């Protein structure tokens, strides 16, 4: 891999956040994305009236998740060698990160499916698409909790990341498990965590 790609790799996390924000802005702004408990008629209108906008928003969000998936490789190289041995906990972090990425890919995919199949789509089916979107996002939070917990524990025992970030990761993992307020952590705190980690990795000296 080129030296330039290695130097720019930490910015994949920031790119992920920027594309996530752009995707959500399109979906909730121009497309007026309704809540998951919206009426069937409103859900159907979302997919049939704003088809192109929905597809654009889901594409942006999906691209952001691909950057996150690529960024996980950098997290793995930071945690794995630091842990050494069988790399059990760092492997759990990597696997949970991939599971989170899959859920984050499926989250906009349900909206995309509703927009693509909007012709002949029934109101009840449209409402199901909205509900699936929330379900996959909830699953992303659960897998994200494991990812953050394993990252935090590995960092505490190895110093792969600063201790303050390790404790913040563990705290955020617990937050994601508190169902009534987990969405706040996933929507606001996790992207901030990703930006902080990106900056820390960028500022660390590269290995010759």
Q: Containing domain of residue 169, as a range?
A: 3-203
Q: Is residue 141 part of a domain?
A: yes
pLDDT digits (tens, 9 = 90+) for 2-44: 677 777 889 999 999 999 999 999 999 988 899 888 999 999 9
Say how many C-beta atoms besides its own lie within 10 A of residue 114's C-beta. 26
Token pair for 197? 């980690």
Query: What's the mean pLDDT in 87-100?
Result: 97
Determine the average pLDDT of the residues in 132-140: 94
Q: What's the domain count of the chain? A: 1
Q: How far is CA 18 from CA 8, 34, 136, in A?
A: 15, 22, 20
Query: Is position 208 within any domain?
Result: no
Asked if residue 154 is part of any domain, the answer here is yes
Does residue 94 lie within any of the structural domains? yes
Give the mean pLDDT of 73-101: 95
């Amino acid at each position: 891999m080129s030296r330039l790609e290695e130097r720019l790799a930490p910015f994949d996390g920031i790119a992920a956040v920027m594309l996530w924000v752009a995707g959500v802005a399109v979906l909730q702004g121009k497309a007026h994305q309704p809540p998951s408990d919206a009426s069937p008629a409103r859900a159907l209108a979302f997919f049939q009236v704003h088809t192109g906008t929905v597809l654009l928003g889901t594409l942006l969000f999906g691209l952001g998740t691909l950057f996150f998936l690529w960024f996980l490789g950098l997290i793995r190289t930071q945690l794995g060698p630091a842990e050494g041995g069988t790399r059990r906990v760092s492997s759990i972090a990597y696997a949970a990160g991939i599971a989170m990425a899959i859920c984050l890919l499926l989250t906009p995919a349900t909206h995309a499916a509703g927009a693509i199949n909007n012709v002949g789509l029934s109101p009840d089916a449209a409402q199901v698409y909205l509900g699936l979107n929330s379900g996959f996002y909830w699953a992303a939070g659960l897998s994200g909790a494991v990812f953050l917990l394993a990252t935090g524990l590995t960092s505490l025992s190895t110093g792969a990341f600063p201790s303050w970030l390790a404790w913040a990761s563990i705290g955020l993992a617990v937050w994601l498990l508190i169902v009534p307020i987990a969405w706040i952590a996933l929507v606001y705190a996790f992207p901030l965590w990703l930006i902080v980690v990106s900056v820390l990795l960028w500022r660390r000296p590269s290995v010759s």
